[in-house]
Structure 1
Amino acid sequence: MKNFTTAMLALSCALALSACKHQENAEETQKDVAEASADANADVADASRDAANTAADADKKVADAANAGADKVADAQAGAMDANADASYDLAVAKADGALKVAKELCDGLPVTQQDVCNTNAHADHDAAIANAKAAKDSAEHSAEAMKK
């Protein structure tokens, strides 16, 4: 029983240490960065496509409103501005999320002593990008609301 307990303790320690942070080798980091970049590019492409579709739909609604009468144009333009603000925000978030994924993979390639600072900076950059996107969206929505009045 004593040998079993000692063996279990050794196994537990080995498993615990294997879960610790480690510096990835250059090949692993390069592969992870390439995968993260590809994922980010795909996400940004999807968001760009959605934004273009949103803009096209909004333009059609404005044109339809112009045919229906002048009073409908302002509402349609405001709606288009809202839709474009949402699409632009989604695109900015996709870009920020992609940049964060890539940055985190790059951080994993650094020595362990530098990884925490690198990850903190990556998250700070991500948070700032999201905050800027939110501010732009809020401003556009405020302008759209003013058009309705």
Structure 2
Amino acid sequence: MKRTLLTLLCVLAAGCATRGQVNPDVMQIATAPLTCSNADQCAAWWQRAQQWVRSHSTYELQTATDTLIQTSGPGGGKRALAYQITKTPNNDGTATIGFAAHCDSSLGCKPNPWEAGAAFKQFVRTGVDHSPAADTGDDAAPATAGAASGAQTGSAR
């Protein structure tokens, strides 16, 4: 009996251990700086940033200024991501666009914040949408404190 219980616990632990892992290619894209090089490019990228958030957020757009795009949420234990996008001018005339995404569920976010960050950055740079599905299925990777805060900090800019 004890052996069966131990085996079952090991199988469950192994299944949980692989959840939440992020593809290294996705992580590289999500953590690469998103810096526009001149006023025209920055304006185009900022417009794309707002377009991406509008089309991918479950939550309503709460704020849209020249330096901040923010949705309402998250709330109520939902797995849907809430977004905060910032544009910070640099001394050399460029600007850095920051990305933050988080949810309010202990089961994890859907989509994964790192995947959403990578999709956002690819869309802003290219105008081509490669976003993960934004449904609320049960196969979402859990958003651990490290992943959620990493997606919100400078590491995902």
**TM-score between both structures, scaled by the size of structure 2:** 0.27
Question: If each structure's helix is expressed as a fraction of its own residues, which one has the higher value?
Answer: 1
Question: If each structure's strand is expressed as a fraction of its own residues, which one has the higher value?
Answer: 2
Larger radius of gyration: 1
